[in-house]
Amino acid sequence: MSKAEIKNLMKSCYSEKSRLMISLIYACGFRVSELVGLKIKDLDFNQKIGYIRQGKGNKDRQFNIPFFLFEELLNQTEKQKDAGEHFLFSGPKGKLSSRNIQKIVAKAALNAGIDKDVHPHTLRHSFATHLLENGVDIRHIQILLGHSSILTTQIYTHVSTEELKKIKSPLDEMGL
């Protein structure tokens, strides 16, 4: 998805909670299972970091709490604590399922008029692609995504044709 489509998707959520969940998936490159499994105790607001515990492959990893979501996450944490919940996000029946999140993303995409097949994993792909387009080293993206192999990361990073057109030959750079 383009950055404009991501923005439009976030604006098209039917609730603040849905927008926060979609924003967090994209902003941190989460798998849907990582979002639904995120516990309040895994957020360290003083250090501005969080932890994915036992992600895919039973791996733990750290993520940065996005600055633009900091206050909303803090408020969500307080709401959940007041309700006696352990997970950052829950519904009337307790812990949300991956299917709940898939439906939220699909409904937001429909509301946004995005004519693509959009899933939570699409946001993860977009996260990786946008970081690469912004010049972030692929090895750093590998760590952020929690991949053991760089080959797995390369699958996620779809470099656009427009980005490739911007690359100049070393000869062009020398002015020969």
pLDDT in tens, 34-74: 999 999 999 999 999 999 986 565 678 899 999 999 999 99
N- to C-terminal Cα distance for the chain?
A: 38
pLDDT for residue 100: 94
Question: Is 158 labeled as catalytic in the residue annotation?
Answer: no
pLDDT below 50 — which residues of the chain? none
3-state secondary structure 144-176: HHCCCCHHHHHHHCCCCHHHHHCCCCHHHHHCC
pLDDT at 41: 97
* Half-sphere exposure at residue 34, Cβ-oriented, CA atoms within 13 angstroms: 29
**pLDDT at site 16:** 95
In the annotation, is 86 catalytic? no
Q: 130 catalytic, yes or no?
A: no
Tokens 């501005």 belong to residue: 48
pTM exceeds cut of 0.75: yes
Which candidate in 39, 95, 119, 121 is catalytic? 121
**9, 109 contact by CB (below 8 A):** yes
140: annotated active-site residue = no
Residue-level pLDDT at 169: 81
Active-site annotation holds for 168: no
Say what the pLDDT of residue 95 is.
Answer: 87
Q: Which of 39, 53, 56, 130 is catalytic?
A: 56
Report the C-alpha gap between 31 and 45 in whole angstroms: 21
Question: What is the second-level CATH architecture of the domain 3-119?
Answer: Orthogonal Bundle (1.10)
**The pLDDT of residue 107:** 96
Structure confidence at residue 56 (pLDDT):
61
> Is 53 one of the catalytic residues?
no
